[in-house]
Structure 1
């Protein structure tokens, strides 16, 4: 119900349910790269 609504749904560990997600899913990955640095990747589609 949450995934198919018109709103935003944030899922932690989305790779565990990727087969259930719509094709137009936007994936955001945040990686810790030091005390004050983060790497943010934004992808459209598959993991």
Structure 2
């Protein structure tokens, strides 16, 4: 019984780690796409009044 619980915990932990990695990659890709479409947006902020 303990082996099954340990296995289940290990699988869940691996799934959570994979999900976090995928989310980080998606965010990184979104930032790269934003800069490729609008290279001036977010790279520098120069405000004049």
Q: Please identify which structure carries the higher strand content.
A: 1
Larger radius of gyration: 2
Compare the two structures and name the one with the higher helix fraction: 2
Q: TM-score, normalization: structure 1?
A: 0.21
